[in-house]
């Protein structure tokens, strides 16, 4: 699987995806992350990719042309047919919420193009022309789409066989709790003793799973 990320800050994406589990997965050729500098398709000598919004308002908007040209360059290099076009995603606060189920669907695709939003967003005509799907990682606003892009890649990569090493590492596929413990059995912090729950020390797997399921489903 190949992720193509169009961004103003390729170094941000590369630093994260070349490290740890994602870096190892790339070395093992289980996935690949390619970045593309949006300014390369600016169409002017200054690399300017933004303009003021029509109708007024604060901030700037990413122009449609550089975004569309960047996607066209990716597709041209691959000599794609109409039926072989990759899915195009735009990171946007108001988009479809990223879930494990969505990530699992993405993991079955060969290529995914992610366009990182910036400033006030991307000219809506680019999204329409590319038939792009807007995806959000939560109901909050970030300074750019790089963090959401990395979240999409990370969540999807975990669904690819071999990336995590073994099936048991996929938390959503086993009984897991939001409360986990490790050694030592007792911790003394500021005079107060904190202990590991007795059930986790019992060796009784059915009771342990029941406890973890209870903690996982308990409302906050």
Q: Is 203 annotated as a binding residue?
A: no
DSSP tag of 181:
-
Dist CA 195 CA 192 (whole Å): 10
Size of the chain, expressed as the number of residues it contains: 220
Dist CA 92 CA 62 (whole Å): 13
- E-assigned strand segments in the chain: 2-7, 32-37, 50-51, 61-62, 87-97, 111-115, 133-136, 186-189, 192-195
User: Distance of CA 36 to CAs 19, 41, 127, 174, 217, Å?
Assistant: 19, 10, 18, 37, 41
Q: Tell whether omega for the bond before 184 is within 30 degrees of 0, i.e. cis.
A: yes
Angle CA 99–92–115, to nearest 5: 95
DSSP tag of 118:
B
Helix (H) or strand (E) holding 133: strand 133-136
CB 43 within 8 A of CB 65: yes
Q: Which residues are annotated as a binding site?
A: 117
Q: Which residues are annotated as a binding site for S-adenosyl-L-methionine?
A: 117
């Amino acid at each position: 699987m190949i992720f193509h990320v169009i961004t103003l800050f390729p170094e941000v994406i590369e630093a994260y995806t070349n490290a740890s589990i994602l870096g190892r997965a790339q070395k093992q050729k289980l996935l690949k992350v390619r970045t593309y500098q949006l300014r390369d398709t600016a169409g002017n000598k200054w690399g300017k990719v933004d303009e003021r919004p029509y109708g007024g308002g604060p901030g700037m908007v990413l122009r449609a042309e550089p975004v569309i040209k960047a996607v066209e360059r990716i597709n041209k290099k691959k000599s794609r047919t109409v039926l072989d076009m990759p899915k195009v995603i735009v990171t946007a606060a108001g988009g479809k919420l990223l879930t494990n189920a969505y990530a699992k669907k993405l993991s079955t695709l060969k290529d995914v193009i992610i366009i990182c939003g910036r400033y006030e967003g991307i000219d809506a005509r680019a999204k329409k022309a590319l038939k792009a799907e807007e995806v959000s990682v939560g109901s909050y606003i970030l300074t750019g789409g790089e963090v959401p892009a990395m979240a999409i890649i990370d969540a999807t990569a975990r669904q690819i066989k071999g990336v995590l090493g073994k099936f048991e590492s996929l938390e959503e596929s086993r009984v897991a709790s939001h409360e986990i413990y490790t050694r030592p059995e007792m911790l003394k912090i500021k005079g107060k003793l904190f202990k590991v729950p007795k059930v986790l020390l019992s060796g009784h797997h059915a009771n342990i799973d029941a406890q973890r399921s209870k903690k996982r489903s308990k409302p906050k």
